Each structure stands twice: as C-alpha cells, then as structure tokens.
Structure 1
Amino acid sequence: MSIRTLMQHTVDFQSTVPGVRTVPRVLSIAGTDPTGGAGIQADLKSIGAHGGYGMAAVTSLVAQNTRGVRSVHTPPSSFLREQLTAVSDDVVIDAVKIGMLGDTQTIQTVREWLPQAGGAVVVLDPVMVATSGDRLLATDAEDALRALVPLAALVTPNVPELAVLLNEPVATTWEDALEQGKRLAAATGTVVLVKGGHLGGTGCPDALVEPSDGTLVVTEVGGPRVATRNTHGTGCSLSAALATVQVRTHNWHRSLVLVKDWLRGALEHADELEVGQGNGPIHHFHAMGISDTANSRPFSEQAWELTAQHRAAIGTLGFVTSLGDGTLPADQFAYYLAQDALYLRDYSRVLARASSLAPTEAEQLFWASGAKNCLEVESELHRTWLSGRETMPEQGPVTKAYVDHLLAASANGSYPVVVAAVLPCYWLYAHVGNTLHAQWTAAGAGREHAYATWMETYADPAFAEATSQAIAYADAAFAGASGHDRRAMLAAFEASAWYEHEFFDAPTRLDLRESAKLP
C-alpha cells in the first residue's frame, strides 16, 4: 500500500478521540514566493497536505522565481504586528512556523508577539539563503536570529545556516554537522534538527538533538537521496509539516519519520510539476493522485505493508539482535520486562474493552481470554525474571505514550479501531519471537540461551494460533466497517506498530544518551 496519506489515516483516527486536536491551526510567519514553491505559499500547501488549517502573516514580499530572487520589499514592522495580533486576537493557534524574517526589526516584532501564541508549538526555520544562493537575511540581523532560537521548540537549519547560528565554519561531513547540532542544542535548550541535504553522498540522513534532563538525546533518521534538481522550498515545507504533525503526535521523532516519508514522495514526484526553468518546487500534494484501495484489500494485507519499515527497523535494533544471540545485558532485559509488566496491566484492560464491544460471543470470549492471559501466563514470565527486585521502576515515557494511545483508541468506542490498536502486540511479538527462535534453532544452540524462555513464549504454537485468530477478527471487522473506520483502523495499527518499535528500542537508548551535561 502506498502511504497515500498515512497523515490522512491519522487525522481520521484522531478525529474520533476526545480531546485530540483533529485539524491543527497553524500560523506561518514568512516571506512570499510568487511561483508558489517556497515561503508562505509552500507552508500553506504543507500544512494542508498534513490535514492542518493554514494561516499566514507576511514578513516580506519577495519577487523571485525558480532561478533566483530579484528584489525584496519589507513592509513596516508595525503592519506585521497588526497581522499577528489580528490572528491571535481571534484564533487559537496550535502551532507557529517561523520562516524568512529578513531584518532585525522584523525579528524583534515576532519575538515580542510570540507570548500571544499561548502554548503553540513553535518551529523556527532560520531562513538565510534561498536555494538559488540569494541571501534573505541581513548580516546585521544574525545576532537577533540567534537570540530567537531559545524561544522555539524546534529549530531546523540546513548545514550552512547551522554554521551561521554558531558563528563557525560550515560543516563538510555528517559527523561535523551532528557535533554542531549538539553544540547548538546545548547552548539554547532547543531541539535541533540537523539535516544532511546539503552534504554529499547517496544517503540523506537527518537527526534530532533533544535536550533532556541535563543530557542530549540524538536520534538519527536515515533515508535515500532523491535524484532531482527540483528542491525549491524543501526547508520551508519540511518545517511547516513538522509544526502541523507535532500538534498530533507530541513526539518529534515520530513527527520526523512521518514527515520525512511524505517529503521523499514530494521530491520523487517533483519533476511531474514542470514548474520553472531553475530549481523547481516539490510536489506537496503528490499523494492526491494515488487511488485509494482501502475498500478492496483485506486489512491484514494493507496493515502489514504499512508497517514494513517498522518491522525492518525492529529487526536491526541492538536490543533485538542481542536478545536473539543471548548477549543482551541483564539490566536492559530487566528494564524491558519491568516496563512490559506495567504495559500489560493496561493492555489487559483494553483487551477487556474489546471483549465488551465485540459483536459475537466467540470474539467476546477470545479477547476476554487474551486479557486473562496477560495477567496470568505472560505476567508469570515477568515475575520469574524480576523476582528479588525490591522496587519496580516507574512507567517510562515510551510505555506511557503507548498506553495512552491504546486507552485513547479504547475510549473512542469503535470495536474495529480497538482491535486494530491491540493487534500489533500479538502480530509483531509473534514475528520477532519466531524470527529469533528460528535463528537460534538454525545455529544449533540447543537450550543454552539466556533468553530461551522469552523466545519460546512468543514462538509457541498456541501464541501463533491466537495471533492468527486476532488477525482474522481484524479482517472481519474491517470488512464490515465504514470507510471512516477503515482508515481509522489503519492509523491505529500503524501507531501501535510505531510504539512497538519504540518499546523494543527504549532499553538500549537509555544507555546511548549523550553524557555531556548541558550548561
């Protein structure tokens, strides 16, 4: 299945969950581009492509096209202030994307207004130079822009802009750029997105550098470099999309993965637009022309394709590979099991909710049995491994986020959506358990394995049979669901698969956090 829009699936699912913002109201503060590829025109397209409602306050009127900038007209800062207050006096703003600011006075005006945006997510794209090479920020405004960075939740500089913000030479390697991102995050306390688009190579990595409890957490998201010269407005589009998606996910890593997948498609289809003779724009709405097959294919087929990247990533995680070969440190396994025990406590409640909503007696008994099994059979595995521990750790952030997602799906009251949300805990565990067990058996290791009991639990034929039955019930629910619920099922399943990925990664990431203390 094409990801068509995974974002649309997310919109549809979350529109059924009380208290979740279904259509983020996003304000772009930026300059213009009459060819529509960059600036506020690109921002509004990105926001719309991700299900948001876009608004715009113009900082500069730019006469440009795909070949370059011809002139810039900056209206009085008092007029920008009137635009901003006109919006904030009337509309609740969920996110603010800040792009081209141009000069010191414009930056100061935005800085003074920002408190009126309330608790909005603020993403700063420090626009300094256009794709064509034309400068879009006065040199004497650089210090004012640096001072704005700590007021943003996320800053998204390209490699040259990152160097300017630090007043350092431009990085020539990914490793140097990453180190600069760490220094900027440490100095400002703001999450920094380090982008590899300006560097060479076949890959195009990005990385989030997040200040957390006195340390820096670095999370890389890889990806291929798309062969096209039509990259005009890529930075604008990326930052506006991140601002929109973050309103829903509240997780920068998840937001980046979703947006980067969309952006890759926008670059891959950019040549279709045939706009301009220079560096043309990306195709913001590339997904709109793809036919929707959600009504004709089984849920299980679509869901399994939708989560291919998550399954591949899980298989390469340090936690999973070392669990498979028996070299996983005991403290990491103990942390994982403790978090899993806390998770199963709430997961059993969601299974019980599925039982109460099930349309047939067989389904009611199946989900009720699953809830009982969580509290008895699987919990026994945890009690055996964790015996002797005086205290249990607190619920970790990944565990809490996963549980919150499941409880939200449960609260929405739709049986198909609840089934889709709980299914990855069956399906992905069976997949991982069987894969590791097969590798262990093929290696002729016999029973001499530190984590044999864990593998045997999830490679057990009874668990495989339960997984197959859960998949069959999900397919049946999908077949009888409305179009809205079908899209919501796919979104719920994908989100749970994402959290399974994060759950397996959490124990190792605790040890990989940067040790450098923030000032």
Structure 2
Amino acid sequence: MSGRTASRVPRVLSIAGTDPTGGAGIQADLKSIAANGGYGMAVVTALVAQNTRGVRSVHVPPVAFLVEQLDAVSDDVEIDAVKIGMLGTVDVIRAVASWLDRVRPPVVVLDPVMVATSGDRLLEADAEEALRDLMSRADLVTPNLPELAILAGEPVAEAWDDALAQAGRVAGRHGVRVLAKGGHLAGERMPDALVEQAGGDLAVTEFPGERIATTNTHGTGCSLSSAVATRVALTGEWERAAAESKRWLAESIRHGASLGVGSGHGPVSHFAGLWTRGGTTTAPTVAEVEEDWWEHVGGIRAEIDDLAFVRGLGDGSLERDVFLGYLAQDALYLRDYARVLAEAARLAPTGDEQAFWAGAAQGAIAGELQLHESWLGPANRHDTRADAVTTAYLDHLLAAGARGDYRVLIAALLPCFWIYQDVGDRLHPLSHAEHPYRSWLDTYADPAFAASTRHAIDIVTRAAATADEKVRTAMRDAFRRSAVHERDFFDRGR
C-alpha cells in the first residue's frame, strides 16, 4: 500500500460499542474519521450505559443482528478501511472474524478494547483468546499498556523499553503491526511506537510526545485507532498515518477541557483544529456571493440613480461643460486604472484570469481613452489635474494593488465594470439618435462590455466563494468602498 493516494474520500467502517456521552466508542470513531478526512460508517456491537465517570451496564444485541448490520453495509458500500473496537463476547468476535474472512477489507485496525480509561473491564475473560485469534486478520492493533499485557499474557510493562519488547513479542507471535502507546507510563514523556516484523527483524518507529496536563482522555484509544485507519486508507503509509494521527490527537486532547463535558475523564475535542483553522461558517456559493454583494451596495446604487448628473445624462439635459469635466477626470482615472488592471494580470493565478485583466487594461487605454479624445480632443487630455474625488478613488485602487492580495484587488476593481454597465444598461433605452451623449451610452451598454462585465463578476465571485471568511470579508469591504467611489465620481455638477 506504500505511497497510495486515494482519489476520493475513504469510506471507513467502525465496528464498536456505543457511548451515550459521545466521547468514546462509535461516536468518537465517527468524529475521528471525519476529522481526519474520511466518511464514517458504524456497526454497533454493544449498547453501553456509560458516562465520563464510568460504565454502568452493557447490552449486547443478538449476534444475528450484528451480522445483518455488517452484511447490509458491505453488500452496498465499498469499504476502504475497518476499525474494530469493543466486541465483548466470544460469539461477537467470531461473527466479526467470519465477516472479515468473507469481505476482506483492504485495511483493518483493531483496537482491542478490554479496559476503559476509567479502569472498567470491557471484555469477558473467556473472549480474550478469541480476540488474540482475531489479531491475525488485522493489519494493526492499538492496545494501551494494560491491554498489551493481556494480549501478551504477561504483567503490565512499567518501562518503555519493556513495553516495546512486549509489543515485539505480540507482533511476532501474531504477524501483526502493533502501535504501542506509552500513555500509562509514569513521567512527562508519552511516546508511541509502531512495532512490526520486517524481513525477520523487528522494526520499531518511535513517535515522541509529551504528557498533556488534562483529565480529558476519555475515548483517546478509540479516536487514535480510527484516525490511523482513515489516514492509512488515504495514503497507504503506516508510519505517516501514525505520526499524523498522534499529532492530531494531541491537538484534540489539548482542547478537550474547553468542551466542558462531564465531571470525570472528559472527551477530546475532535474538531478543535478544524474549527480553529477553518471556522464553522458555511462557505457561500458563487451565486450567493453575487447576490449578497449586489444587495450590499443596493443603497449606493439607488443614490447613484438619484444624482442630478445621472438623471441629466439619461434624458440628455446634462450641461455639456459638466459632462466634459466628468470625461476629463475619467481620462485621468483611466490611466492609473489601466495600471491597476495590469497589476491584477500580474498577480492572477490562472492564464484565463491573466488574459482577462490584461485585455481589460489594454481596452481601458486603446478603447475608452479614444472615446474620451473624440469628446475632449487630444490636447485636452493633459490640461486637467485630478480632483479630490478622482485622487481618492485611484488611491484606493493603487493601495489595493500595492498590498499584493489578488483577491482583494479584483474585488476593488469590480464596481468599475459592474456599476458602469448597470448604469449604461438602464440609461441607454432612454437615448435616441439625436441624444447628445449617445456615443457614451452606446459604449457602456455595448454587448461586448456586458460580456466583459459578466466575466469579471464570475472571476471575482468565484474567488470570494473559495476564500476563507477573513479574506471574503476584506474583498466585500473593498468592493463596497469602490462602489462609494463610483457614486462620488458620478456626483458632478453639484
């Protein structure tokens, strides 16, 4: 299996008992599988009345029903890995062994649940030999030190070297990998080790660790074995799976107390790392981003519609000098705007996006400035200085480019496409052949500009939908700030 990389989410089956408090058993297994990148399934071997203080009673359903559960899963779902936990009785162990012989799952991890964290014995004494026989069907067993001693038929190891030697004897006797765990040892060190036979020799890979000062250790064995099963199904690498699972479990243990669950040995926080790094906010779809952003500037768009400049531009009553003043400022704006578009092209992560922004930069110079020249004349382009409104807008865009965050930059650029195209679309039907500003309205209501705007919207909203919440919020803020600048830019001739 070495080096294998799954092309899909691994489907991992937990065969174990329950824990109504959710910290151990199949409830912990399902959380662990999901936290480590798998799709969890569960077959119940026993119903356990327990909490963080201990086990009260165990009910084992009929074995025939256990077999029905197992067959129901394997008849329908291709299983990538199996994690086996609490089995409880000889008949249950034999039923699971028979099913493994029929189905032959590619990865089997056995957590030989015999002793709970609370010290309760969870396996009937006459089932111990049956469990040893089951080990020959597993790829890995993950006992704690008391369980390792039972499997070896020896006293509990009190030193790490003794534990490794004991794990080596179990591995050699049963032909199985053993993940020896040092959590029951005294001291601050808490090592684990993968012990296996390799070409007649014993191979030991140690994973160092430090003891975490906490009582939140309920279900750690269940969680670790499920994590390893999942990560092996993902990568096919036992050492890597064990190392990564140990790091994940340590992180989960460190955050367990924050859950505030129970008054005994509390559970670990299986998703603490995911919650911290990814949050719990559901990412919006591209369509949801588009709708939200457009509504977010709805008030600004309404203010633009109410501007005397826009109303006069639509009905043709706008004074020519006011319009020419607007065009003069727009010509100054377009020079630096084209530079910012070129910076977006430089930062773009894909060829399509690079080509789009570069084309928009070229269009801003070659196309739109030509339109401005036709109104202002070529000499007039250099006679005007940028006013405060133009300067503020350009400062906003240039600052976004200087910060180097492509996603925030393109969000800041978007209103110059979207709002202009929206205004042009709505004003153009008001114009006619003799309308004094028809050529300007033709440009911004042009189907080619509409297609370019659509492309810009798609690029930006897709980037926002795939960004984390912090970046998406920064993009939305930059978009709104540019929309405000657009409004101010239209507010001429006051």
1:199 aligned partner: 185
2:66 aligned partner: 80
Classify the secondary structure of the residue corresponding to 2:135.
Answer: helix
CA RMSD of aligned residues (A): 2.5
Does residue 279 in structure 1 map to residue 265 in structure 2?
Answer: yes
Aligned ranges 1:346-495 → 2 under 5 Å: none
Distance 1:486 1:171, change over 3 A: farther
The Cα shift of 1:252 comes to 1.0
Tell me which of 224, 229, 232 is aligned to 1:243.
229
1:123 aligned partner: 109
Higher relative contact order (CA 8 A, sep 6+): 1
> 2:6·2:233 contact (CA, 8 Å) conserved in 1?
no
Distance 1:226 1:109, change over 3 A: same
Q: Distance in 2 between matches of 1:72 and 1:18?
A: 39
Q: Distance in 1 between matches of 2:39 and 2:201?
A: 35
Tell me which of 27, 36, 39 is aligned to 2:13.
27
Bigger Rg, structure 1 or 2: 2
Q: Distance in 2 between matches of 1:137 and 1:182?
A: 23
Structure 1: gaps of 5 or more residues: 1-16, 294-356, 360-480, 488-519
2:199 aligned partner: 213
The Cα shift of 1:18 comes to 11
1:138 aligned partner: 124
Tell me which of 255, 258, 262 is aligned to 2:248.
262
**Structure 1 counterpart of 2:198, one-letter code:** S
Extract structure 1 runs of 4+ deviating beyond 6 A.
481-487
Could you give the per-residue CA deviations for residues 17-73 of structure 1, whole angstroms, max 9, x where no partner exists? Answer: 997232110000000000000000000000010111111000000000000111100
> 1:21·1:247 contact (CA, 8 Å) conserved in 2?
no
Distance 1:213 1:233, change over 3 A: same
**Structure 2 counterpart of 1:141, one-letter code:** A
2:134 aligned partner: 148
Q: Distance in 1 between matches of 2:235 and 2:4?
A: 15
1:114 aligned partner: 100
Does residue 95 in structure 1 map to residue 43 in structure 2?
Answer: no
Classify the secondary structure of the residue corresponding to 1:57.
Answer: strand
Tell me which of 42, 46, 52 is aligned to 1:60.
46
The Cα shift of 1:167 comes to 0.7
**Structure 2 counterpart of 1:289, one-letter code:** W
The Cα shift of 1:181 comes to 0.5
Q: Distance in 2 between matches of 1:218 and 1:486?
A: 42
> Could you tell me the percent identity over the aligned residues?
60
The Cα shift of 1:133 comes to 1.2
1:338 aligned partner: none
Classify the secondary structure of the residue corresponding to 1:279.
Answer: coil
**Structure 2 counterpart of 1:168, one-letter code:** E
> 2:214·2:257 contact (CA, 8 Å) conserved in 1?
yes
**Structure 2 counterpart of 1:290, one-letter code:** T
Q: Distance in 2 between matches of 1:82 and 1:121?
A: 21
2:216 aligned partner: 230
**Structure 1 counterpart of 2:204, one-letter code:** V
**Structure 1 counterpart of 2:235, one-letter code:** T
> 1:88·1:116 contact (CA, 8 Å) conserved in 2?
no
> 2:15·2:82 contact (CA, 8 Å) conserved in 1?
yes
1:386 aligned partner: none
Distance 1:258 1:291, change over 3 A: closer
**Structure 2 counterpart of 1:85, one-letter code:** D
1:40 aligned partner: 26
The Cα shift of 1:267 comes to 0.6
Could you give the per-residue CA deviations for residues 318-369 of structure 1, whole angstroms, max 9, x where no partner exists? Answer: xxxxxxxxxxxxxxxxxxxxxxxxxxxxxxxxxxxxxxx997xxxxxxxxxx
The Cα shift of 1:168 comes to 0.5
